[in-house]
Each structure stands twice: as structure tokens, then as C-alpha cells.
Amino acid sequence: MSRRWPVVLFLLLLPPAAPAAAPGCQFDKLPAGERKLGPWIDQRNWLDIENQRLTLQSATTFMPAWRLAPATGRPAAARAARPLEELPAVDPLDGQARSLGFLLDSRLAADGIVVLRNGRVIAERYRNGLADDRPRLLLDATRPLLNLLGAIGVSQGKLAADKSVSRHIPAFAASASLRKLSIQRLLDANERRAWPPEELAAWRRAAGWREGGGDEGIRNWLAQPNLWDKPLPGGPDAGATATPEDDLLAWALAESNDRPLARLFCEQLLLPARPEHEVLWLSDPQGVELANGLALSPRDFARLGQLLVEARGSRKRTRIPAWFVETLLASSGLRTGDIKGLAKGSELRYGFVHLGGAPNRVALVGTHGTSLYLDFDQRLVIASFASYPQAHTPAMLAVLEQVWLSIDRGLKPARAR
């Protein structure tokens, strides 16, 4: 027995092993490409809205990324044959009867749409080079998914909702402003500081979204002294686009879980959703994943929505906390939620939109119409990639609402006899 003690002591003195990635969550590093696409698109203008239909499908041309390869040996799902083109719809801009195809092309500029019912692909439609296996950058439509990861972290005890951001990120221990910002307030996504345009431009350069950022890296920029000492605008902003708060949350998630953001996302959400195609996550020059850097294929985007639908009332064990789903679905009651373009009673919750009108409907809506619609009662999921020419306008939201209603009415399952 005594001879074993040196071995035991040796094992106890070994440093703790780094957490292993879950099987299937090994990301490979991809360097940035030529940072130029054709004769007119480069690092200066690749994110301009007139270029996004092309560039969001080619994001690794402009920025480095982490890539998760698709599962080998898995046969591709058959292409859904149910047509969407001629489903009846109402154009919210003039009140005229139109086809769904007209709304998708002429009003929403939608290049990809996938419809799931009960987890099965029942319809899909692609335009302008987008295909079912082509990952497309979500940009700020990623933020609600980060809030969901935060809710999972709270439920697992990795994040303390009532504690400050500075408690979870040691680099901010001396920041008085972030000692006042709790994780819960950050997850609510209702408070964004009054960022001057020049600081937003510097934030994008540091992350590598625009040229001229050098190798500073996103975390060095976020940790600047006094950066967060800014006033908070009053009330939530339904039309807010990406801001540095997104990367602050991404840092808190990675720090509290001791995981790179892409691996955390994969372990908690991606593997349970069983992705069919490759997944990309853009990074800064130092390899740190960016909050708005997730790229998914249309089908895999829809499967994330299905994961949320299945989390409600499921007997299967799920990482998504029941309280999060019920918060998204809870009736507005006496609250007077109002988002112009959507049904009365619509309001933001954790970055998602609780939709007014019919009960138990939720949507994730990006700046230019990329969206994920969830009807929990009908078990209906609609994922769309769009490039609406303006950001978060009532007209864009009204078109999205009509697209969802047209698909819901037109693709009702046949009643059993």
C-alpha cells in the first residue's frame, strides 16, 4: 500500500486538465480570404446592405472564422416539394391581394426560407445563389441566441443573474459602471449605452468588421478605461442594431463557462439540434469569436427554432430552461406592448419578440429581415434570410407578419378523418 503513495501524490499535483470539447464540437481555424470579392466589393463596403445578398454567404472571404465541419456519413434530407410561390397573401404596403412569392421577392428581398412542422421540412425556397447547405451570416440576429445561452448558464449555475458583469469578467474588476450592470439586465437586452458614431466605428475596426483595425482585438477594445461610463437611453429600443453590449455578453458567456463561444454554442444548442451542414463563427484577428459572427445554413437555423419549440412541455431532458420559454410565451396581460408593424401586444423579451394576436407565437428578428418564427401551438417554425433595404422599419415587420400568416394558413396540415 505504501508504494502507491508517490503515484497518488504525483497525480494530485498535476494541473487540472482543460475541459474537453463535446464529441462533434471541434472547430477548425480558417484564415481570412483575399478580403475582396469581384472588382467593387472589399473590406470597406462588404457589409453595406446593397452587397449583403452576396457577401453574407461569403463571410470568410473577409474575416477569419472557426469552422465546424458537417457530420460525415449523414445523408442529406430530401428537398421539400410543397410550393410557396402562389400561396395567397396581403401586401401590407397597399392592402392588395398578392402571392407569397411576390412578398418574398419584391418586398422582403428574401433569398432563403425554410418551413418546419413537427420538426420536418415541409417547404423551402432559395434565390440569388443561396442553397440549403450554404451558411449565411446572421449578424445581429445572433444576439437572442446569446441571451438563450445566458439563460442556460443561469440555470446551470455558471452565471449569477443578480451579480454584476464585472464579477464574471476579471478584466472589468475596476470598472464602476460594469459593477452596476447585472447579468440579468444584460440578458434582458433592453439597455444599450449612448454610443457615439466614432466609437461604434472603432468597435467594428477592432473586431475586424471594417478595415484599419490592426491586431488590437475585440477584448482589448472592450476593456479600455472609462469606455462604459456612458448614459443609458430611456426604455427598450425595438429597432436597435448590433452594439458593443453584444460582445460584452459574448465575453461573459465564454468566461463563466470556461469555453470559447463557438464550442459553448455547439455543446448547448447545436448538437441537440443535430446540424446538417457546416457552421461558421467569425472571429477577431486574435481568434476570439465575435457576438455577431454566427453563420448557419437555412435548415440548421430552422432547427434551432425547433429546439425551442420542443423544449416546451417536453418529457425529454433539455438544456433550455422551462422558465425561459414560458417567459417568452406569457401573455402581455395589462402591459401595453407595441412594436409598430406587428400586432398589438407585441413586445421584446430577451431579444426575442413576443407576438401579439394569436397566443404562443414568438419571433427572432434581425435588422434587415432575417428571422425565426415560432408557433408553439402549431409546432410551426419558419426561418428566413432576407436583405430588406432599411433597418427595422414598421413596413419590414408588417411584411414579415404577412409572410408568417400566409404560410400558416396555406400549409395547414390535412385533418385526419
Q: How far apart are CA 24 and CA 212, in angstroms?
A: 35
461558421: which residue's cell? Answer: 280
pLDDT at residue 334 is higher than 70: no
Q: How far apart are CA 332 and CA 361, in angstroms?
A: 12
pLDDT at residue 14 is higher than 70: no
Domain count, the chain: 1
- The per-residue pLDDT for 270 is 94
C-alpha cell read off for 226: 472609462
pLDDT at residue 78 is higher than 80: no
Between 200 and 19, residue with greater pLDDT: 200
For range 146-156, the mean pLDDT: 97
CB 184 within 8 A of CB 191: no
Q: Which domain holds residue 243?
A: 51-69+105-410
- The per-residue pLDDT for 415 is 62
pLDDT at residue 396 is higher than 80: yes
- The per-residue pLDDT for 293 is 98
Find all residues with CB under 8 Å of 39, minimum gap 6, and list them. none
Q: Mind listing the pLDDT tens digit for each residue in 219-234?
A: 999 999 889 988 776 5
In this structure, what CATH number is given to the domain that contains residue 120? 3.40.710.10
- The per-residue pLDDT for 416 is 41
Q: How far apart are CA 328 and CA 349, in angstroms?
A: 6
C-alpha cell read off for 299: 435548415
Query: How many Cα neighbours within 13 Å face the side chain of 275?
Result: 27
Q: Is the dihedral of CA 341, 346, 348, 350 positive or negative?
A: negative
How sure is the predictor about 2, in pLDDT bands with cuts at 50, 70 and 90? Answer: very low
Is residue 200 assigned to a domain?
Answer: yes
Q: Is the dihedral of CA 78, 81, 82, 86 positive or negative?
A: positive
- Cα–chain center distance at 206: 21
- The per-residue pLDDT for 333 is 66
For range 331-348, the mean pLDDT: 82
What is the identity of the amino acid at 103? L
Is residue 121 assigned to a domain?
Answer: yes
pLDDT at residue 31 is higher than 60: yes
Residue 110 backbone dihedrals phi, psi, to 5 degrees: -90, 125
- The per-residue pLDDT for 158 is 96
How sure is the predictor about 177, in pLDDT bands with cuts at 50, 70 and 90? Answer: confident
Is residue 292 assigned to a domain?
Answer: yes
Confidence (pTM): 0.91
pLDDT at residue 124 is higher than 70: yes
pLDDT at residue 9 is higher than 60: no
- The per-residue pLDDT for 335 is 61
Per the prediction, the chain carries an average pLDDT of: 89
- The per-residue pLDDT for 297 is 97
Is residue 39 assigned to a domain?
Answer: no
Between 325 and 77, residue with greater pLDDT: 325
Cα dist. 402→99, 105, 115, 240, 397 in Å? 11, 13, 15, 22, 9
Strand partners, 36: 42
pLDDT at residue 324 is higher than 60: yes
C-alpha cell read off for 315: 418529457
404577412: which residue's cell? Answer: 402
Is residue 190 assigned to a domain?
Answer: yes
| Burial of 39: CB neighbours in 10 Å, binned 0-12, 13-18, 19+ | exposed
Lowest mean pLDDT among 59-63, 181-185, 382-386: 181-185
CA angle (339 as vertex; 335, 344 as ends), nearest 5:
55
Q: Mind listing the pLDDT tens digit for each residue in 234-247?
A: 544 545 589 999 99
What is the identity of the amino acid at 241? T
Is residue 375 assigned to a domain?
Answer: yes
Is residue 129 assigned to a domain?
Answer: yes
Is residue 318 assigned to a domain?
Answer: yes
For range 130-157, the mean pLDDT: 96
pLDDT at residue 190 is higher than 80: no
